[in-house]
């Protein structure tokens, strides 16, 4: 006999499936890649965005930004952001933000005596977990507030080896694994940016395991006008036009950088001859 239980709660289960947002601005994003590409400028062109600039000496950018000098200042600025009408915060770079958080948390747990988990001896593994969990909670707070974030990082080449011993090189973010895990688990898009023959390139998918880039497979976006998946596409060298180009690519309006239009079939032409002159 089935046992039934009456639950008293103000919560309710959904009656319809979730409808994914249709705009790029509704999603969390990670963008990493070459220095001087324009990552900070592009990330800050999203509507309602504030840039938390953790990289030193970045005053030459014409963007809305703050420059937290301590993890306490970063927390205060984050609270101001959560209470504001702004929609997105850029962590630039997430590398330096995580390092600042790690040092601060280690000092907090050791009365200011230690700055790295390796200094805690046998407790080091537990400290790593505390740092990782507390860092993730920052971004969970942003999500629960109905706001979005962009993570910015640089890139590096990493040697990898598969089960058969075959080695290959892959481009990955420079941030620590704990920060990269947020990019993997909380970001719907991971973009890699680079230069190719003088052109700015953005990769949105990794089709040959050479670059860490990804799109949410549940969203019909970053396709070319013919419905094929984009891997990478060109963006203008003028930084102010980059965001609109990325938006066009999201809306399936741009062809891949390696796209070659099909050759048109040659039409057979019938040559007309002049009638030969009648012989006399």
pLDDT in tens, 128-151: 999 999 999 999 999 999 999 999
Cα–Cα dist 44/244, whole Å: 12
What angle do the packed helices 94-109 and 71-83 form, to 10 degrees? 120
Q: How confident is the model at residue 114 (pLDDT cuts 50, 70, 90)?
A: very high
List the one residue out of 125, 141, 218, 123 whose CA is nearest residue 182.
Answer: 141
Tens digits of residue pLDDT in 38-65: 999 999 999 999 999 998 866 677 889 9
Cross-strand bridge partners of residue 191: 31
The predicted structure's pLDDT at residue 52: 97
Residues with Cβ within 8 Å of 81's Cβ and at least 6 positions away in sequence, in order, are 50, 89, 147
Q: How confident is the model at residue 218 (pLDDT cuts 50, 70, 90)?
A: confident
The predicted structure's pLDDT at residue 93: 94
* Helical spans, DSSP H, in 46-161: 71-83, 94-109, 124-144
Whether 237 shows a pLDDT value over 60: the answer reads yes
pTM: 0.86
Whether 196 shows a pLDDT value over 60: the answer reads yes
Q: Name which residue leads in pLDDT, 181 or 279.
A: 181
Are 170 and 209 in contact, with CB atoms under 8 Å apart?
A: yes
Running DSSP on this structure, what letter comes out for residue 192? E
Whether 97 shows a pLDDT value over 90: the answer reads yes
Q: How confident is the model at residue 266 (pLDDT cuts 50, 70, 90)?
A: low
Question: What average pLDDT score do residues 231-236 get?
Answer: 94
Whether 91 shows a pLDDT value over 80: the answer reads yes
- 139 sits in which H/E element: helix 124-144
Structure tokens at 59: 């005053």
The predicted structure's pLDDT at residue 280: 43
At CA 170, angle to CA 169 and CA 174, rounded to 5?
120
The predicted structure's pLDDT at residue 1: 56
- Strands of the chain, DSSP E: 29-33, 49-53, 65-66, 88-92, 148-161, 167-173, 189-196, 199-203, 214-215, 232-235
The predicted structure's pLDDT at residue 276: 46
Q: How confident is the model at residue 249 (pLDDT cuts 50, 70, 90)?
A: very high
Q: How confident is the model at residue 271 (pLDDT cuts 50, 70, 90)?
A: very low
Query: What's the mean pLDDT when you consider all of the chain?
Result: 88
Compute the 3-state secondary structure of the chain and give helix, strand, coil in percent, each to the nearest 5.
30, 20, 45
């Amino acid at each position: 006999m089935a046992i039934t239980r009456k639950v008293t709660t103000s919560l309710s289960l959904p009656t319809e499936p979730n409808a994914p947002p249709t705009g790029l601005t509704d999603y969390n994003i990670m963008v990493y890649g070459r220095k001087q590409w324009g990552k900070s400028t592009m990330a800050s062109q999203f509507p309602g965005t504030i840039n938390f600039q953790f990289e030193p000496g970045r005053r030459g950018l014409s963007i809305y930004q703050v420059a937290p000098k301590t993890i306490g200042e970063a927390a205060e600025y984050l609270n101001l952001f959560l209470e504001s009408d702004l929609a997105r915060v850029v962590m630039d770079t997430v590398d330096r933000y995580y390092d600042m958080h790690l040092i601060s948390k280690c000092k907090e747990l050791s009365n200011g005596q230690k700055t790295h988990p390796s200094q805690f001896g046998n407790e080091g593994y537990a400290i790593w977990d505390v740092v990782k969990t507390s860092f993730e909670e920052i971004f969970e707070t942003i999500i629960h507030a109905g706001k979005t974030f962009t993570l910015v990082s640089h890139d590096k080449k990493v040697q990898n080896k598969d089960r058969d011993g075959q080695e290959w090189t892959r481009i990955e973010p420079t941030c620590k694994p704990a920060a990269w895990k947020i990019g993997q688990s909380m970001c719907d898009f991971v973009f890699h940016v680079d230069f190719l023959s003088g052109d700015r390139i953005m990769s949105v998918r990794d089709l040959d395991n050479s670059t860490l880039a990804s799109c949410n497979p549940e969203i019909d976006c970053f396709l070319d006008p013919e419905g094929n998946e984009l891997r990478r596409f060109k963006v203008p060298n003028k930084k102010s036009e980059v965001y609109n180009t990325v938006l066009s690519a999201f809306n399936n309006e741009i062809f891949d950088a390696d796209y070659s239009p099909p050759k048109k079939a040659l039409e057979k032409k019938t040559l007309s001859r002049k009638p030969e002159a009648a012989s006399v």
